[in-house]
Structure formats: C-alpha cells, structure tokens
C-alpha cells in the first residue's frame, strides 16, 4: 500500500550516499585526470593509489579492529563503482585488495589477521590473489603448483597466471596442492606469500586489450620457502576457502562493471545533448532516446542486482553463490553492451582516444572473463537452482 512505512523496500542508507559523494569527489579530482595517460602508457595508476590510501578507500573492507574503516560489503561496492566510473584500472586497487585478503578474513587464524590486515588497511601493502594457472583457469582443481612440507616450513614450486596487480602488491594468497595423492579438490591448501620471500619472482607484464593500468603477471615459485604459520585455515581446505572468497568478491566485479557502464552512459548523454545534426541536437531524435532509455534501464537493473548481492554478502546468506554469480554475470554483460552503444552514439568520435569511451569499452570486456567467465557464472547459477 502506498505510504505504508512498514513496507521497507531495499535502499541505500544516507551513510552510503554520503560515501558515494566522497568517493566521487576523489575519483573526479585525483583519479580521472590521469586515466587516459595511465591507459596510454600501460602504467600503474600511482596517483590513484596514493589518493585511495589518503582517503581510506584503499582497502575499505578491513574491519576497525585491524586498523580499517570497516566498510560493509555494499559500501565497498560503492567505492569500487565510483572509481570504475572514471578508471577501471584504478578500481582494481580496492577490488583486488578485498579479493586477496578475503581468504585470510574467512579462514585465517587470528595471528594471520593481526599480521596482514593492519598493513593492508593502512595502505602499506596491497594484497593479490594467486589461484589461476595457464592450464587451470576455470578447471581450478587441475592446478599443478605444489607446496611440500619441510620441517616446520612449506616449500612452493610452480607458476600462477593472470594475477592482477602482481609485482605491485606486497602480499599474495596462493593456492597449491599439498597432497598430490589426495582426493581432487580436497588436496589443495592456501598460503600467504610475501613479495620478499626467497624463490618468489614475477613474469613479464601481459600485453592486454584493456585495464592497462593494472599489471597482470605470472607468479613464479622456485623452491619458495615460507613459514608454516602462513597456512590459511586447515590443510586441504584451500579450495573451499577460495570458492567462498569468490562468492563474495564476484559482487565487487559486478560493482566495477556498473561503474564502467555508468561512466560510459554519462559520457554519451553529455555528447548527444551537444552534438547537432540536421539542425537539432541528436538527443532530440527518438532513435537516440530509445537507445539511452534501454542503456539506463539495463544499468539500473544491474546496479540493483549488485546491491542486493552485496547485502547478501554482508549477511553471508546461503543463496549468496547464486546471487553473486548472477550479479557479476548480468552486470558485466550490461557493461559490455552499454559501452559498445555509447561508442556508437558518439560515432567516429567514440572510436578515437579523444574521448574515454573506447577505453571504457576495452575495459568492460574483462569483467565478462575474470573471477570466473560468464559461462562459469551460468553453471554456478544452474547448479544452485538444481540443488534447490
């Protein structure tokens, strides 16, 4: 019934919207001016890094007891969304810091949390995630990286691939097989590896279509020795922790996709209101208006899916695996469609680097691929449906 105060629709709080304005101000003032140069030079967005640290948006998800600001899952998504609106590469800084540290948050001992979460919260160390390998992407249980006990230590051997912010981050969650003869999926463990650990090195930067400001490199482990207390959770629980992590962090990729799409729509709307053809603004043509309406409608649907999934992440609801996969899948598909349409609305101008839309279109593509391709997301959703 209209006006019934007991009928509480989902909405963001005043605190969430105040946070949005604060992040948007930082993004537009400190990050946007460098976005084109970062992309052109394929360099790490250090200006964005510094601005995020100064404003406590570097790893906002870390709880206050570990020197963090304790942003909830939705607030963290808003941070990522607003940064992605101007620079997708920069938005990977808070996103990957959450991805890399979630295994410690979900399964780590209190000693591990006390050792690694405070420096992350203070912006003294970034945190990346080492799960994928060249021949073990979607098929994670086929990973070949090994961790072998040697006294009280573990020795890692192998290579991880497609690791976001590799070489920049100081800390890495790494998944490795600890029982080669054990049951597949239950023979993998998770560890924290430090950048300075002997035997740990990086491959060359990948040459990518988009997100060029975020370095993607291999991790190489050549008899990399780490202390035994770096094990996250119990031996053999690594894959379980990894999948729980992805249930939560797929939501943040959905937020990144929403931010990219919003930035593209903003650019397109501004352009069509100024561009004139046949004596009037192209915004006054019905065909253009229909395109804009569809873009805005699909974007808002994606945003609401991401926000609902973020709320479920905060509560750790039982149906989070479905909603996290759905939000990431839908939002990334929408981001790809909206950025392509935005380039179309600008015509030849959209195809040039004079405008940020071609960069946004290139950046949007990766959101359909990483943290599980959208084909894998559909498998996750279907399996959850079939389980009831």
Q: What is the pLDDT of residue 9?
A: 52
Question: What's the structural domain count of the chain?
Answer: 3
CATH number at residue 322: 1.20.140.10
Tokens of 247: 């249930």
Q: Is the pLDDT of residue 75 over 70?
A: yes
Global confidence as pTM: 0.96
Active site residue 371: yes
Task: Supply the mean pLDDT for the chain.
Answer: 96
Expressed as residue numbers, the domain containing 306 is 240-387
Residue pair 18/79 in contact by the 8 Å Cβ criterion? no
Q: Do both 167 and 95 map to the same domain?
A: no
Residue pair 115/121 in contact by the 8 Å Cβ criterion? no
Q: Do both 311 and 216 map to the same domain?
A: no
92-147 pLDDT, tens digit per residue, is: 999 999 999 999 999 999 999 999 999 999 999 999 999 999 999 889 999 999 99
CATH number at residue 85: 1.10.540.10
Residue pair 339/357 in contact by the 8 Å Cβ criterion? yes
Q: What is the pLDDT of residue 7?
A: 43
Q: Do both 225 and 89 map to the same domain?
A: no
Q: What is the pLDDT of residue 1?
A: 38
Q: What is the pLDDT of residue 167?
A: 98
Catalytic residue among 133, 218, 298, 371: 371
Give the contacts of 179 (CB within 8 A, at least 6 positions apart). Answer: 187, 235, 236
Q: Do both 244 and 357 map to the same domain?
A: yes
The reply to whether 298 falls in a domain is: yes
Last residue of a domain, one of 95, 121, 147: 121
Q: Do both 229 and 247 map to the same domain?
A: no
Q: What is the pLDDT of residue 11?
A: 81
Q: Do both 102 and 144 map to the same domain?
A: no
What are the b/e assignments for 121-137, b being 16+ CB within 10 Å?
Answer: bbbebbbbbbbbbeebb
Q: Do both 116 and 156 map to the same domain?
A: no
Which of the four pLDDT bands, split at 50, 70 and 90, describes residue 293?
very high
Last residue of a domain, one of 77, 106, 121: 121
Residue pair 169/128 in contact by the 8 Å Cβ criterion? yes
The reply to whether 4 falls in a domain is: no
Q: Do both 258 and 378 map to the same domain?
A: yes
The reply to whether 44 falls in a domain is: yes
Q: What is the pLDDT of residue 379?
A: 97
The reply to whether 6 falls in a domain is: no
Determine the Cα–Cα distance for residues 38 and 90; give it in Å rounded to an integer: 9
Q: Is the pLDDT of residue 385 over 80?
A: yes
The reply to whether 305 falls in a domain is: yes
Tokens of 90: 């920069």
The reply to whether 244 falls in a domain is: yes
Q: Do both 103 and 140 map to the same domain?
A: no
Q: What is the pLDDT of residue 137?
A: 87
Q: Do both 172 and 186 map to the same domain?
A: yes
Last residue of a domain, one of 235, 251, 271: 235
String of DSSP letters for 145-157: -EEEEETTEEEEE
Q: Do both 245 and 343 map to the same domain?
A: yes
C-alpha count within 13 angstroms, C-beta hemisphere, residue 159: 10
The reply to whether 166 falls in a domain is: yes
The reply to whether 2 falls in a domain is: no
331-372 pLDDT, tens digit per residue, is: 999 999 999 999 999 999 999 999 999 999 999 999 999 999
Q: Do both 139 and 167 map to the same domain?
A: yes
């Amino acid at each position: 019934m209209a006006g019934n105060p007991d009928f509480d629709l989902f909405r963001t709080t005043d605190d969430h919207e105040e946070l949005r304005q604060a992040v948007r101000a930082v993004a537009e003032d400190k990050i946007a001016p460098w976005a084109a140069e970062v992309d052109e030079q394929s360099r790490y967005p250090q200006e964005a890094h510094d601005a995020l640290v100064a404003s406590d948006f570097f790893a906002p998800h870390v709880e206050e007891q570990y020197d963090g600001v304790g942003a909830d899952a939705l607030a963290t998504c808003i941070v990522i969304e607003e940064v992605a609106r101007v620079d997708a590469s920069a938005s990977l800084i808070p996103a990957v810091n959450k991805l890399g540290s979630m295994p410690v948050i979900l399964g780590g001992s209190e000693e591990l949390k006390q050792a690694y979460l405070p420096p992350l919260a203070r912006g003294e160390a970034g945190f990346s995630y080492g799960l994928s390998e060249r021949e073990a992407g979607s098929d994670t249980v086929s990973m070949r990286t090994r961790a072998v006990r040697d006294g009280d230590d573990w020795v890692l051997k192998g290579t991880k691939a497609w690791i976001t912010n590799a070489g920049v981050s100081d800390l890495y969650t790494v998944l490795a097989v600890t029982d080669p003869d054990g049951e597949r999926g239950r023979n993998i463990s998770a560890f924290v590896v430090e950048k300075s650990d002997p035997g740990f090195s990086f491959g060359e930067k990948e040459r990518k279509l988009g997100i060029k400001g975020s370095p993607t490199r291999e991790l190489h482990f050549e008899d990399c020795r780490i202390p035994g207390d770096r094990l996250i959770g119990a031996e053999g629980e690594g894959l379980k922790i990894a999948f729980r992590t992805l249930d939560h962090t797929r939501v943040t990729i959905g937020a990144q996709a929403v931010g990219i799409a919003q930035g593209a729509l903003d650019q397109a709307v501004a352009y069509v209101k100024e561009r004139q053809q046949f004596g009037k603004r192209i915004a006054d043509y019905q065909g253009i208006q229909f395109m804009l309406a569809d873009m805005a409608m699909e974007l808002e649907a994606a945003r609401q899916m991401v926000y609902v999934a973020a709320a479920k992440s905060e509560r750790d609801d039982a149906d989070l695996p479905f909603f996290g996969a759905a939000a990431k899948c839908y939002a990334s598909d929408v981001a790809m469609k909206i950025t392509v349409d935005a380039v179309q609305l600008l015509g030849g101008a959209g195809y040039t680097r004079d405008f940020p839309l071609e960069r946004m279109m290139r950046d949007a593509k990766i959101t359909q691929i990483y943290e599980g391709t959208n084909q894998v997301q559909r498998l996750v959703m279907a399996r959850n449906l079939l389980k009831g």
